């Protein structure tokens, strides 16, 4: 059975990650290693990702991490069929570090280089663990991006909607920061929300009911800051604001997904069983996953969400995007540029 073995590197934000995977011609995937070194500790004192600190940490970590990923995969350098790295979008310092390392390796080993769009990595992430055939409707929600995409094939992404201001993850992070819950914010908000009343505060549902499938989260962030200012700042207040905010986020995203389902049906002309996929760091959110699952069932969609470790940034998804590109005969020159902005 024809298989491609690819090393993937990810360094576009605050995770330094490397992974080796094998992809068979029939689409089956074996993840041979998956190493993720988080920089949470380095950024925590600042309550957010500091680009300069991220760049230095990537430089320090990339080489040991990629050596570890290859060693623990059990394959030799020679067994690799290609080297894939995130080439953007993201923080330029980190992207350059990962991409340069990949170029150096590819040149030294005389192997093809695949310059991967980080968002394509997220978009293909469900295919790491599931038989998730094209086409599918994708909700991609992370710290830097919020989009609804019609995914019809490798490299074929039609945007049905996107955020007009903040990303979904950013809204979670800012909410956590306002209340001093810690960093990264998403998981903190989620755990505080478990103890709160989601109906305690009436937060807005931006864009709800609109014809398009765009998002807006900036107003929600402002409303949280106002509610926190007006509160007595007790643990009960924290939990209630977190729960009410999370519910508003979930309602808003579900409303937008509902709209996108209609647009997707109209665009594809497909009325049969279809697939709804969620990906990106915010896809780890339990309430969102539960809501999407219910919505999918009522609209005749199968619901697919990657396991938690493949929702946030990781290199397995970059290796997979690389392997799928390589299998399709798409590679990049050793002069492939780092692209801080790179829409799908
Ligand atoms: O995909 P990702 O790891 O990095 C980017 O490409 O941005 O996403 C990180 C984002 C952060 O904003 C983080 O707070 C959010 O995902 N996140 C969550 C949860 N876990 C991570 N948001 C809500 N609920 C969670 N459980
Ligand atoms: Zn990401």
Give per-residue pLDDT as tens, 57-96: 999 999 999 999 999 999 999 999 999 999 999 999 999 9
% of residues, the chain, pLDDT over 70: 100
Distance 208 CA to ligand 1 centre (A): 23
Asked whether residue 338 is assigned to any structural domain, the reply reads: no
Domain that holds residue 277: 134-305
Asked whether residue 344 is assigned to any structural domain, the reply reads: no
**CB 246 near ligand 1, within 6 Å:** no
> What pLDDT does residue 1 have?
66
Distance 330 CA to ligand 2 centre (A): 22
Q: Tell me if 248 sits within 8 A of 205, measured CB to CB.
A: yes
Return phi, psi of residue 243, to 5°. -65, -40
Do residues 257 and 182 both lie within one domain? yes
Asked whether residue 335 is assigned to any structural domain, the reply reads: no
Ligand 1 atom with least separation from CA of 14: 4
Asked whether residue 76 is assigned to any structural domain, the reply reads: yes
Do residues 181 and 116 both lie within one domain? no
Asked whether residue 342 is assigned to any structural domain, the reply reads: no
**CB 169 near ligand 1, within 6 Å:** yes
% of residues, the chain, pLDDT over 90: 95
**CB 98 near ligand 1, within 6 Å:** no
Neighbours of ion ligand 2 (CB under 5 A): 142, 313
Asked whether residue 297 is assigned to any structural domain, the reply reads: yes
> What pLDDT does residue 87 have?
98
Distance 203 CA to ligand 2 centre (A): 27
Do residues 168 and 298 both lie within one domain? yes
Task: Look at residue 203 and give its three-state secondary structure.
Answer: coil
Distance 73 CA to ligand 1 centre (A): 27
Q: Tell me if 188 sits within 8 A of 238, measured CB to CB.
A: no
Q: Tell me if 306 sits within 8 A of 141, measured CB to CB.
A: no
Task: Look at residue 279 and give its three-state secondary structure.
Answer: strand
**CB 281 near ligand 1, within 6 Å:** yes
Q: Look at residue 222 and tell me whether its pLDDT is greater than 80.
A: yes
CA angle (204 as vertex; 218, 179 as ends), nearest 5: 60
**CB 13 near ligand 1, within 6 Å:** yes
Do residues 268 and 314 both lie within one domain? no
Do residues 170 and 122 both lie within one domain? no
Best mutation site among 123, 312, 340, 342 for ligand 1 pocket (most ligand atoms within 8 Å of CB):
312
Do residues 212 and 139 both lie within one domain? yes
**CB 183 near ligand 1, within 6 Å:** no
Structure token digits, residue 231? 């509160």
Those residues with Cβ within 8 angstroms of residue 165's Cβ, 6 or more apart along the chain or in another chain: 216, 217, 218
How far apart (Å, rounded) are the C-alpha atoms in residues 7 and 295?
Answer: 36
Structure token digits, residue 206? 């931006």
What's 54's domain CATH number?
A: 3.30.420.40
**CB 82 near ligand 1, within 6 Å:** no
Asked whether residue 271 is assigned to any structural domain, the reply reads: yes
- The residue to which tokens 């969620």 are assigned: 278
CA angle (343 as vertex; 341, 344 as ends), nearest 5: 140
Number of domains in the chain: 2
Do residues 321 and 300 both lie within one domain? no
Q: Tell me if 82 sits within 8 A of 4, measured CB to CB.
A: yes
Do residues 196 and 216 both lie within one domain? yes
- Count CB-CB contacts under 10 A for residue 74: 10
- The residue to which tokens 């692209």 are assigned: 339
Which ipTM value was assigned to this complex?
0.98
Do residues 94 and 112 both lie within one domain? yes
Do residues 120 and 49 both lie within one domain? yes
Do residues 155 and 269 both lie within one domain? yes
Structure token digits, residue 300? 């005749």
- Give the model's confidence band at 267: pLDDT under 50 very low, under 70 low, under 90 confident, else very high: confident
Task: Look at residue 7 and give its three-state secondary structure.
Answer: strand
Three-state secondary structure readout of 46-78:
HCCCCHHHHHHHHHHHHHHHHHHHHHHHCCCHH
Do residues 297 and 194 both lie within one domain? yes
How far apart (Å, rounded) are the C-alpha atoms in residues 190 and 289?
Answer: 12
How far apart (Å, rounded) are the C-alpha atoms in residues 98 and 102?
Answer: 6
- State mean pLDDT over 328-333: 98
Asked whether residue 181 is assigned to any structural domain, the reply reads: yes
Task: Look at residue 290 and give its three-state secondary structure.
Answer: helix
């Amino acid at each position: 059975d024809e298989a491609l073995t690819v090393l993937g590197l990810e360094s576009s934000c605050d995770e330094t990650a490397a992974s080796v995977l094998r992809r068979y011609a029939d689409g089956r995937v074996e993840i041979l290693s998956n190493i993720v070194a988080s920089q949470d500790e380095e950024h925590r004192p600042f309550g957010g990702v500091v680009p300069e600190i991220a760049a230095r940490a990537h430089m320090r970590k990339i080489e040991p991490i990629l050596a570890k990923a290859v060693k623990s995969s059990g394959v030799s350098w020679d067994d690799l069929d290609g080297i894939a790295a995130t080439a953007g979008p993201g923080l330029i310092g980190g992207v350059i570090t990962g991409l340069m390392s990949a170029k150096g390796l590819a040149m030294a080993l005389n192997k093809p280089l695949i310059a991967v769009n980080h968002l394509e990595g997220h978009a293909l992430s469900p295919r790491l663990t599931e038989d998730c055939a094209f086409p599918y409707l994708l909700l991609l929600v992370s710290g830097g991006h919020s989009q609804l995409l019609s995914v019809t094939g490798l490299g074929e992404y039609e945007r049905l909607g996107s955020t007009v201001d903040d990303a979904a993850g950013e809204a979670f992070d800012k909410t956590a920061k306002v209340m001093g819950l810690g960093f990264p914010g998403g998981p903190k908000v989620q755990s505080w929300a478990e103890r709160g009343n989601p109906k305690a505060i009436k937060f807005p549902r931006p864009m709800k009911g609109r014809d398009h499938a765009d998002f807006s989260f900036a107003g929600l962030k402002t409303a949280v800051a106002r509610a926190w200012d007006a509160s007595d700042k007790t643990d009960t207040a924290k939990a209630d604001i977190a729960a009410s905010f999370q519910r508003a986020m979930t309602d808003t995203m579900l409303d937008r997904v509902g709209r996108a389902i209609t647009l997707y049906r109209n665009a594809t002309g497909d009325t049969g069983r279809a697939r709804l996929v969620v990906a990106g760091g915010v896809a780890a959110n339990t309430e969102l996953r539960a809501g999407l699952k219910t919505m999918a069932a009522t609209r005749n969609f199968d619901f697919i969400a990657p396991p938690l470790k493949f929702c946030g940034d990781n290199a397995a998804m970059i290796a997979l995007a690389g392997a799928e590109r390589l299998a399709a005969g798409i590679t990049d020159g050793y002069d492939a540029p780092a692209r801080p902005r790179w829409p799908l």
